[in-house]
Amino acid sequence: MTTPQQGYMLIADITGYTMYLSQSELGHAQQVLQALLELLIEHTKPPMRISRLEGDAVISYSLPGITLQGQTFVEMIENTYIAFRRAIDLMVMNNTCRCNACANISTLDLKFFIHHGTFGIQHLGGHDELVGSDVNLIHRLLKNSVREKTGFRAYTLYTDAAIRQLGLEGFCEKLVSHRQEYEHLGAVDVWVQDMQPVWVEKRASTRISIPPDQIFLQVETQMAMPPELVWNYLIQPEYAVTLYGSDGIDYVNRTGGRVAKGSVVQCYHGDQISPLTIIQWQPFEQMTTETLLPMPIKNVFMLIDLRLIPTEKGTRLVQTFSKPKGPLVGRILGAIAFSTLAKQALHDIDAFGSLIEKDLVARGVGMDEVNTP
């Protein structure tokens, strides 16, 4: 058993599987469960590492040394849920079998439980067994009255300890406060997020891209870490400032304490402020901003797109600048003004990549840890 450590514990639990199994043919039901569990395993990203599987649930814990922003953690959970719901939809659409197991796939859903506390790790039977009173607590939370009190079928439950450690107090404005009573544990305060609106919003969203004939400039760099960690650094001003080549940046106009579509990246260049409005926010994949160009001609703007592409060695970060848009004179002046942008943009994106790689190494985190579930 290792020295007890402080960290996050996460349980992803498939909703309704017990009833589904009781009403379905075992062979096909097992195939469905295997596909869904493999999806959950695939989406267990650093700093989370799988402890073990338990029936219809995946249990994971956080690695030491990686400081994850609260927003990044929330978005990892939301992305996993979206992938799960897409998988369910695809199974339903592509299904031609008339058995109960295949007919009832749409009854399945997903819940998450997150707690921060102390745990030890025992290496038993090929997996990491978590032990400790905080481990007992998160397992007790699986049995709760959330659905009866809220009506939520799919939800994420954060303990108050997890919320405070993640710095998500502002996010609580969009969550439901709930108190659960347990024998020997007493009252446990938790916060619950309904996941159905997350799925509805994502399903309705459309992707924004800069057409090839509208690209003014494109630069890229390669980093030896997965997209989730690159994204985690992108939302931290002290690191993102290097990418934007400014004296300082800040994220303003947050929604529920989170950077999102409609938020603004405020870039400071001496006494000048350049606001970049986020018009697309696809966590771990893509962020697109729109900015008015500082020139006498009004309403001249440019799109700046950041895309994170997973590779065998980590992540390829691609930054694309659109041609200036707006009145003709403004477009011409904008193209002239930014004619020297290429060299600086390439320097900034390379500097950002080097900075965050060095930071991860300084924290004592090896590449084998961040690239292995």
Please say whether the beta carbons of 274 and 293 come within 8 A.
no
DSSP per-residue codes, 219-267: EEEEESS-HHHHHHHHT-HHHHHHHHTSSEEEEES-BTTB--TT-EEEE
Mean pLDDT score, 58-83? 92
**Is 241's pLDDT higher than 80?**
yes
**Is 338's pLDDT higher than 60?**
yes
Where does a domain end: 157, 180, 202?
Answer: 202
Are both 346 and 280 inside the same structural domain?
yes
Residue 346: which pLDDT band, with cuts at 50, 70 and 90? Answer: very high
What's the domain count of the chain? 2
> What pLDDT score was predicted for residue 36?
93
> What pLDDT score was predicted for residue 342?
81
Are both 226 and 138 inside the same structural domain?
no
> What pLDDT score was predicted for residue 249?
95
| Strand duo 155-159 + 127-131: pairing | unpaired
For the segment 170-218, what is each residue's pLDDT rounded down to a tens digit? 999 999 999 999 888 889 999 999 999 999 988 877 789 999 999 999 9
CB atoms within 10 A of CB 47: 24
For the segment 350-372, what is each residue's pLDDT rounded down to a tens digit? 999 999 999 988 887 655 666 55
CATH number for the domain that contains residue 97? 3.30.70.1230
Burial 130-160 (b: 16+ CB within 10 A, else e): beeebbbbbbbbeebebeeeeebbbbbbbbb
CATH number for the domain that contains residue 287? 3.30.530.20
Are both 67 and 134 inside the same structural domain?
yes
One-letter amino acid at 165 equals: Q
Where does a domain end: 181, 202, 223?
Answer: 202
Are both 186 and 76 inside the same structural domain?
yes
Copy the structure tokens of residue 207: 């992707």
Query: Which structural domain range is residue 287 located in?
Result: 209-370
Are both 187 and 218 inside the same structural domain?
no
Element (H, E) at 38: helix 26-42
Are both 300 and 322 inside the same structural domain?
yes
DSSP per-residue codes, 63-119: PTT----HHHHHHHHHHHHHHHHHHHHHHHHT----SHHHHTGGG-EEEEEEEEEEE
Where does a domain end: 168, 187, 202?
Answer: 202
> What pLDDT score was predicted for residue 109?
95
Phi-psi map region of 304: left, alpha, beta (phi>0 left; psi -120 to 50 alpha): beta
**Is 332's pLDDT higher than 90?**
no
> What pLDDT score was predicted for residue 368?
60
Mean pLDDT for the chain? 90
> What pLDDT score was predicted for residue 1?
54
> What pLDDT score was predicted for residue 31?
87
Residue 232: which pLDDT band, with cuts at 50, 70 and 90? Answer: very high
Q: How many residues are listed for the chain in this entry?
A: 373
Residue 68: which pLDDT band, with cuts at 50, 70 and 90? Answer: confident
pTM above 0.75, yes or no: yes
Are both 151 and 238 inside the same structural domain?
no
The strand pairing partners of 159, in sequence order, are: 190
Are both 302 and 190 inside the same structural domain?
no
96 φ/ψ angles, rounded to the nearest 5 degrees: -120, -5
Nearest to 217 by CA among 353, 324, 354: 324
Mean pLDDT score, 33-46? 92
Residue 294: which pLDDT band, with cuts at 50, 70 and 90? Answer: confident
For the segment 248-290, what is each residue's pLDDT rounded down to a tens digit? 999 999 988 899 999 999 999 888 898 999 999 999 999 999 9
Q: What angle do CA 262, 316, 77 make, to 5 degrees?
A: 50
Are both 194 and 231 inside the same structural domain?
no
Copy the structure tokens of residue 25: 């043919």
Mean pLDDT score, 160-178? 94
Separation CA 101–CA 317 (nearest Å): 42
Separation CA 84–CA 94 (nearest Å): 15
Mean pLDDT score, 62-68? 82
**Is 319's pLDDT higher than 60?**
yes
> What pLDDT score was predicted for residue 134?
95
> What pLDDT score was predicted for residue 369?
61
111 φ/ψ angles, rounded to the nearest 5 degrees: -125, 150
Mean pLDDT score, 36-46? 93
Are both 146 and 268 inside the same structural domain?
no
Are both 247 and 189 inside the same structural domain?
no
> What pLDDT score was predicted for residue 158?
98
Please say whether the beta carbons of 288 and 278 come within 8 A.
yes
Residue 38: which pLDDT band, with cuts at 50, 70 and 90? Answer: very high
Are both 197 and 278 inside the same structural domain?
no
Percent pLDDT > 70 in the chain is: 97
Separation CA 287–CA 80 (nearest Å): 18
Q: What angle do CA 177, 54, 13 make, to 5 degrees?
A: 30
**Is 303's pLDDT higher than 60?**
yes
Residue 35: which pLDDT band, with cuts at 50, 70 and 90? Answer: very high
> What pLDDT score was predicted for residue 330?
73
